[in-house]
Protein backbone atom coordinates (compact mmCIF):
# COMPACT_ATOMS: atom_id res chain seq x y z
CA UNK A 1 0.00 0.00 0.00
CA UNK A 2 2.90 2.35 0.88
CA UNK A 3 4.26 1.78 -2.60
CA UNK A 4 0.92 2.64 -4.24
CA UNK A 5 0.61 5.85 -2.21
CA UNK A 6 4.16 6.84 -3.15
CA UNK A 7 3.26 6.79 -6.85
CA UNK A 8 0.11 8.93 -6.53
CA UNK A 9 1.81 12.13 -7.76
CA UNK A 10 3.89 10.45 -10.44
CA UNK A 11 3.01 11.36 -14.06
CA UNK A 12 3.21 7.70 -15.05
CA UNK A 13 0.84 6.68 -12.24
CA UNK A 14 -1.68 8.60 -10.09
CA UNK A 15 -1.15 12.04 -11.66
CA UNK A 16 -1.70 10.71 -15.19
CA UNK A 17 -5.49 11.07 -15.08
CA UNK A 18 -8.32 12.22 -12.79
CA UNK A 19 -10.64 9.60 -14.25
CA UNK A 20 -11.65 7.02 -11.67
CA UNK A 21 -11.11 3.50 -13.09
CA UNK A 22 -14.19 1.30 -13.50
CA UNK A 23 -12.70 -1.38 -11.26
CA UNK A 24 -9.80 -1.32 -8.81
CA UNK A 25 -7.93 -4.49 -7.95
CA UNK A 26 -8.08 -5.02 -4.16
CA UNK A 27 -4.75 -6.87 -4.22
CA UNK A 28 -2.96 -4.58 -6.70
CA UNK A 29 -4.64 -1.13 -6.76
CA UNK A 30 -2.08 0.46 -9.12
CA UNK A 31 -2.89 -2.02 -11.92
CA UNK A 32 -5.16 -0.52 -14.59
CA UNK A 33 -8.42 -2.16 -15.64
CA UNK A 34 -8.18 -2.06 -19.42
CA UNK A 35 -10.08 -3.36 -22.42
CA UNK A 36 -7.71 -1.71 -24.89
CA UNK A 37 -6.62 -5.03 -26.40
CA UNK A 38 -9.99 -5.76 -27.97
CA UNK A 39 -10.49 -8.89 -25.87
CA UNK A 40 -11.92 -9.29 -22.37
CA UNK A 41 -10.75 -6.49 -20.03
CA UNK A 42 -8.10 -7.29 -17.41
CA UNK A 43 -5.78 -5.58 -14.91
CA UNK A 44 -2.52 -4.50 -16.52
CA UNK A 45 0.62 -2.43 -16.40
CA UNK A 46 2.34 -0.95 -19.45
CA UNK A 47 5.95 -1.69 -20.33
CA UNK A 48 7.44 1.42 -21.96
CA UNK A 49 10.74 1.28 -23.80
CA UNK A 50 13.00 4.03 -25.07
CA UNK A 51 14.81 2.43 -27.99
CA UNK A 52 17.73 3.51 -30.13
CA UNK A 53 16.08 2.78 -33.46
CA UNK A 54 19.34 2.76 -35.37
CA UNK A 55 20.58 -0.36 -33.56
CA UNK A 56 17.35 -1.63 -31.98
CA UNK A 57 18.89 -1.36 -28.49
CA UNK A 58 16.69 -0.64 -25.43
CA UNK A 59 18.08 2.48 -23.73
CA UNK A 60 15.57 2.80 -20.88
CA UNK A 61 12.55 1.03 -19.38
CA UNK A 62 9.66 2.45 -17.38
CA UNK A 63 6.52 0.78 -16.04
CA UNK A 64 3.31 2.81 -16.01
CA UNK A 65 -0.46 2.52 -15.77
CA UNK A 66 -2.01 1.23 -18.98
CA UNK A 67 -3.50 4.52 -20.13
CA UNK A 68 -2.21 6.88 -22.79
CA UNK A 69 -1.49 9.82 -20.46
CA UNK A 70 0.59 7.58 -18.17
CA UNK A 71 2.57 6.16 -21.10
CA UNK A 72 3.32 9.70 -22.31
CA UNK A 73 4.46 10.59 -18.77
CA UNK A 74 6.73 7.53 -18.79
CA UNK A 75 8.24 8.64 -22.12
CA UNK A 76 9.11 12.04 -20.65
CA UNK A 77 10.66 10.39 -17.59
CA UNK A 78 12.82 8.13 -19.78
CA UNK A 79 13.98 10.95 -22.08
CA UNK A 80 15.05 13.08 -19.11
CA UNK A 81 16.66 10.17 -17.23
CA UNK A 82 18.62 9.05 -20.29
CA UNK A 83 19.95 12.57 -20.75
CA UNK A 84 20.92 12.85 -17.07
CA UNK A 85 22.52 9.43 -16.75
CA UNK A 86 24.11 8.81 -20.13
CA UNK A 87 24.26 12.29 -21.67
CA UNK A 88 22.14 10.91 -24.52
CA UNK A 89 19.61 13.19 -26.13
CA UNK A 90 17.77 12.14 -29.27
CA UNK A 91 17.56 14.40 -32.31
CA UNK A 92 14.15 12.95 -33.11
CA UNK A 93 11.51 10.95 -31.29
CA UNK A 94 9.57 8.31 -33.18
CA UNK A 95 6.19 7.30 -31.77
CA UNK A 96 2.57 6.60 -32.62
CA UNK A 97 -0.36 9.04 -32.36
CA UNK A 98 -0.65 8.33 -28.61
CA UNK A 99 2.42 10.57 -28.18
CA UNK A 100 0.97 13.28 -30.45
CA UNK A 101 -0.98 15.14 -27.74
CA UNK A 102 -0.30 18.88 -27.93
CA UNK A 103 1.37 19.26 -24.47
CA UNK A 104 3.80 16.40 -25.25
CA UNK A 105 4.64 17.84 -28.68
CA UNK A 106 5.15 21.27 -27.10
CA UNK A 107 7.49 19.79 -24.51
CA UNK A 108 9.52 18.05 -27.22
CA UNK A 109 9.71 21.02 -29.59
CA UNK A 110 9.94 24.00 -27.25
CA UNK A 111 11.67 22.60 -24.17
CA UNK A 112 13.79 19.72 -25.42
CA UNK A 113 14.50 20.73 -29.03
CA UNK A 114 13.65 17.20 -30.22
CA UNK A 115 12.05 16.72 -33.66
CA UNK A 116 8.75 14.84 -33.19
CA UNK A 117 8.39 12.16 -35.89
CA UNK A 118 4.92 11.48 -34.57
CA UNK A 119 1.66 11.49 -36.57
CA UNK A 120 -0.70 14.23 -35.40
CA UNK A 121 -4.28 13.16 -34.85
CA UNK A 122 -6.43 15.92 -36.37
CA UNK A 123 -10.06 16.11 -35.26
CA UNK A 124 -10.72 19.46 -36.94
CA UNK A 125 -11.67 18.00 -40.34
CA UNK A 126 -15.37 18.45 -41.09
CA UNK A 127 -17.26 15.93 -43.19
CA UNK A 128 -20.52 17.87 -43.63
CA UNK A 129 -19.24 19.81 -46.65
CA UNK A 130 -18.45 23.02 -44.73
CA UNK A 131 -14.96 24.51 -44.49
CA UNK A 132 -12.55 22.73 -42.15
CA UNK A 133 -9.95 24.52 -40.10
CA UNK A 134 -7.33 23.65 -42.72
CA UNK A 135 -9.21 25.92 -45.16
CA UNK A 136 -8.30 28.86 -42.91
CA UNK A 137 -4.71 30.18 -43.08
CA UNK A 138 -2.99 31.05 -39.84
CA UNK A 139 -0.69 34.08 -39.83
CA UNK A 140 1.73 33.75 -36.88
CA UNK A 141 3.02 37.32 -37.28
CA UNK A 142 -0.33 38.95 -36.58
CA UNK A 143 -1.83 35.97 -34.72
CA UNK A 144 -4.96 35.87 -36.88
CA UNK A 145 -6.62 33.38 -39.20
CA UNK A 146 -7.56 34.39 -42.76
CA UNK A 147 -10.80 32.81 -43.94
CA UNK A 148 -11.54 31.63 -47.53
CA UNK A 149 -13.52 34.88 -47.95
CA UNK A 150 -10.39 36.92 -47.21
CA UNK A 151 -11.51 38.19 -43.77
CA UNK A 152 -9.54 38.08 -40.53
CA UNK A 153 -10.46 36.03 -37.45
CA UNK A 154 -8.88 37.34 -34.25
CA UNK A 155 -8.80 36.11 -30.67
CA UNK A 156 -9.50 37.87 -27.37
CA UNK A 157 -6.72 35.76 -25.81
CA UNK A 158 -9.07 33.99 -23.39
CA UNK A 159 -7.98 30.38 -22.91
CA UNK A 160 -10.96 28.02 -22.77
CA UNK A 161 -10.77 24.80 -20.72
CA UNK A 162 -7.12 25.55 -20.08
CA UNK A 163 -6.01 24.72 -23.62
CA UNK A 164 -8.01 26.39 -26.42
CA UNK A 165 -8.08 29.87 -27.93
CA UNK A 166 -11.06 30.85 -30.07
CA UNK A 167 -10.55 32.95 -33.22
CA UNK A 168 -13.80 34.61 -34.25
CA UNK A 169 -14.92 36.21 -37.49
CA UNK A 170 -16.93 39.44 -37.36
CA UNK A 171 -20.67 38.90 -37.59
CA UNK A 172 -20.83 41.90 -39.91
CA UNK A 173 -18.44 40.16 -42.33
CA UNK A 174 -20.22 36.78 -42.18
CA UNK A 175 -23.73 38.27 -42.57
CA UNK A 176 -22.96 39.51 -46.08
CA UNK A 177 -20.54 36.78 -47.13
CA UNK A 178 -21.59 34.64 -50.15
CA UNK A 179 -19.57 31.72 -48.67
CA UNK A 180 -21.61 31.59 -45.46
CA UNK A 181 -23.61 28.45 -46.48
CA UNK A 182 -20.27 26.58 -46.87
CA UNK A 183 -18.75 28.10 -43.76
CA UNK A 184 -21.13 28.58 -40.83
CA UNK A 185 -24.71 27.94 -42.06
CA UNK A 186 -26.11 27.44 -38.55
CA UNK A 187 -24.11 30.08 -36.66
CA UNK A 188 -24.10 33.88 -36.82
CA UNK A 189 -20.33 33.88 -37.48
CA UNK A 190 -17.48 31.39 -37.75
CA UNK A 191 -15.08 30.59 -34.95
CA UNK A 192 -11.91 28.53 -35.17
CA UNK A 193 -10.53 26.77 -32.08
CA UNK A 194 -6.72 26.66 -31.78
CA UNK A 195 -4.79 24.74 -29.15
CA UNK A 196 -2.34 26.89 -27.18
CA UNK A 197 0.34 24.40 -28.31
CA UNK A 198 -0.75 24.36 -31.94
CA UNK A 199 2.66 25.63 -33.04
CA UNK A 200 4.24 22.39 -31.83
CA UNK A 201 1.56 20.39 -33.65
CA UNK A 202 2.37 22.37 -36.82
CA UNK A 203 6.05 21.47 -36.40
CA UNK A 204 5.11 17.78 -36.07
CA UNK A 205 2.83 18.02 -39.12
CA UNK A 206 5.65 19.56 -41.15
CA UNK A 207 7.65 16.30 -40.88
CA UNK A 208 4.82 14.11 -42.18
CA UNK A 209 5.55 12.73 -45.63
CA UNK A 210 9.23 13.74 -45.59
CA UNK A 211 11.97 11.20 -46.33
CA UNK A 212 13.16 11.36 -42.73
CA UNK A 213 9.65 10.68 -41.44
CA UNK A 214 9.28 7.64 -43.72
CA UNK A 215 12.64 6.32 -42.48
CA UNK A 216 11.44 6.77 -38.90
CA UNK A 217 8.22 4.92 -39.73
CA UNK A 218 10.20 1.96 -41.06
CA UNK A 219 12.53 2.03 -38.07
CA UNK A 220 9.54 1.80 -35.71
CA UNK A 221 9.23 -1.84 -36.73
CA UNK A 222 12.30 -2.55 -34.59
CA UNK A 223 10.27 -1.41 -31.58
CA UNK A 224 7.40 -3.75 -32.43
CA UNK A 225 9.90 -6.59 -32.81
CA UNK A 226 11.14 -6.05 -29.23
CA UNK A 227 7.58 -6.30 -27.90
CA UNK A 228 6.75 -9.32 -30.05
CA UNK A 229 9.87 -11.03 -28.68
CA UNK A 230 8.80 -10.06 -25.16
CA UNK A 231 5.43 -11.74 -25.50
CA UNK A 232 6.13 -14.72 -27.74
CA UNK A 233 9.63 -15.80 -26.66
CA UNK A 234 10.00 -14.42 -23.13
CA UNK A 235 6.29 -15.12 -22.42
CA UNK A 236 5.82 -11.87 -20.51
CA UNK A 237 2.06 -11.83 -21.10
CA UNK A 238 1.51 -12.10 -17.34
CA UNK A 239 3.47 -10.58 -14.45
CA UNK A 240 4.53 -12.65 -11.44
CA UNK A 241 5.16 -9.70 -9.10
CA UNK A 242 2.61 -7.14 -7.90
CA UNK A 243 2.65 -3.38 -7.50
CA UNK A 244 4.45 -0.67 -9.50
CA UNK A 245 7.82 -1.80 -8.16
CA UNK A 246 7.13 -5.43 -9.08
CA UNK A 247 6.13 -4.42 -12.61
CA UNK A 248 9.20 -2.20 -12.96
CA UNK A 249 11.52 -4.98 -11.76
CA UNK A 250 10.06 -7.53 -14.16
CA UNK A 251 10.18 -5.12 -17.10
CA UNK A 252 13.81 -4.20 -16.37
CA UNK A 253 14.74 -7.88 -16.18
CA UNK A 254 12.92 -8.56 -19.45
CA UNK A 255 14.98 -5.80 -21.09
CA UNK A 256 17.83 -8.30 -20.88
CA UNK A 257 16.62 -9.05 -24.40
CA UNK A 258 19.18 -6.31 -25.10
CA UNK A 259 21.92 -8.91 -24.55
CA UNK A 260 20.66 -10.94 -27.46
CA UNK A 261 20.59 -7.82 -29.62
CA UNK A 262 24.06 -6.66 -28.53
CA UNK A 263 25.46 -10.15 -29.18
CA UNK A 264 24.06 -10.10 -32.69
CA UNK A 265 25.56 -6.64 -33.25
CA UNK A 266 29.09 -7.61 -32.18
CA UNK A 267 29.14 -11.14 -33.61
CA UNK A 268 30.67 -11.26 -37.03
CA UNK A 269 29.23 -13.68 -39.56
CA UNK A 270 31.59 -16.50 -40.56
CA UNK A 271 33.45 -15.91 -43.80
CA UNK A 272 31.51 -17.10 -46.80
CA UNK A 273 32.73 -20.52 -47.99
CA UNK A 274 33.04 -21.16 -51.65
CA UNK A 275 31.39 -24.36 -52.81
CA UNK A 276 32.74 -26.31 -55.65
CA UNK A 277 31.25 -29.20 -57.59
CA UNK A 278 33.78 -31.39 -59.27
S1 LIG B 1 -18.74 33.25 -43.55
FE2 LIG B 1 -17.39 34.62 -42.39
S3 LIG B 1 -15.63 33.34 -41.84
FE4 LIG B 1 -16.77 32.26 -43.41
S5 LIG B 1 -15.74 32.78 -45.31
FE6 LIG B 1 -17.42 34.26 -45.05
S7 LIG B 1 -16.54 35.98 -43.92
FE8 LIG B 1 -15.12 34.29 -43.78
Which of the two residues, 200 and 19, has the higher pLDDT score?
200
**Position in ligand 1 atom list of the atom nearest CA 177:** 6
Per the domain annotation, does 173 fall within a domain? yes
Does 276 fall in a domain? Answer: no
The verdict on 51 and 114 lying in the same domain is: yes
Structural domains of the chain, count: 2
Q: Do residue 49 and residue 114 come from a single domain?
A: yes
User: 95 with 216, same domain?
Assistant: yes
pLDDT band at 276 (very low <50, low <70, confident <90, very high): very low
Arithmetic mean of pLDDT, 190-212? 93
Residue nearest to atom 2 of ligand 1 (CA): 174
Residue 113 in domain = yes
- Average pLDDT, integer, range 98-108: 91
Between 148-157, 167-176, 230-239, the lowest mean confidence (pLDDT) is in 230-239
55 in a domain, yes or no? yes
Nearest to 54 by CA among 265, 232, 209: 265
Same domain, yes or no: 150 and 189: yes
- Judge whether residue 14 has pLDDT over 80: no
The pTM score is 0.79
* Same domain, residue pair 230 and 191: no
Residue 191 C-alpha to ligand 1 middle, in angstroms? 9
Of 99-108, 110-119, 195-204, 258-267, the one with minimum mean pLDDT is 258-267
Residue 155 forms part of a structural domain: yes
Could you tell me the CATH number of the domain that includes residue 115? 3.30.420
Return the DSSP state at 270: P
Query: What mean pLDDT do residues 190-215 have?
Result: 93
Reply yes or no on whether the pLDDT at 131 is more than 80: yes
pLDDT score at 145: 97
HSE, CB side, 13 Å, CA atoms: give it for residue 224: 8
Q: Check whether residue 54 and residue 100 sit in a common domain.
A: yes
Query: Considering only CA atoms, which residue is closest to atom 4 of ligand 1?
Result: 183
Q: How far is the CA of 134 from the centre of ligand 1 (A)?
A: 14
- Which residues sit with their C-beta closer than 6 Å to ligand 1? 147-149, 151, 169, 173-174, 177, 179-180, 183-184, 189-190
Asked if 106 and 58 sit in the same domain, the reply is yes
Could you give the CA distance from residue 80 to residue 60 in angstroms, rounded to a whole number? Answer: 10
> What confidence score (pLDDT) does residue 175 get?
95
pLDDT of 278 > 50? The answer is no
Mark whether 236 and 174 lie in a shared domain.
Answer: no
Give the pLDDT mean for 197-209: 92
Range of the domain at 194: 133-201
Per residue in 55-89, pLDDT tens?
A: 888 999 999 988 888 899 999 999 999 999 999 99
Does residue 5 belong to any structural domain of this protein? no
Select from 138, 182, 184 the residue to mutate for testing ligand 1; criterion: most ligand atoms less than 8 Å from CB: 184
Q: Answer whether residue 272 is part of any domain.
A: no
228 & 107 share domain: yes
Ligand 1 atom 5, closest CA: 149
What span, in angstroms and rounded, lies between the C-alpha atoms of 262 and 137? 49
Give dist(CA 34, CA 19) in Å, integer.
13
Residues 56 and 111 in one domain: yes
Same domain, 138 and 195: yes
Query: 147 and 254: one domain?
Result: no
**Domain assignment present for 271:** no
- Looking at residue 136, its pLDDT comes to 95
- The span from the CA of 143 to the CA of 141, in Å, is 6
Amino acid sequence: MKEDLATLDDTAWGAASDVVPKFISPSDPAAQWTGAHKGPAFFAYSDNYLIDVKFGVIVDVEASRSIRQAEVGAARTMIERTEERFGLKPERLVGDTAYGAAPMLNWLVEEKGIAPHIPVFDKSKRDDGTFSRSDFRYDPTSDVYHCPGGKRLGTSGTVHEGKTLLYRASKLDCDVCPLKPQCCPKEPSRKIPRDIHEHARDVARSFAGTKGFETSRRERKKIEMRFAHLKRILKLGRLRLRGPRGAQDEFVLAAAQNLRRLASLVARPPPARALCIA
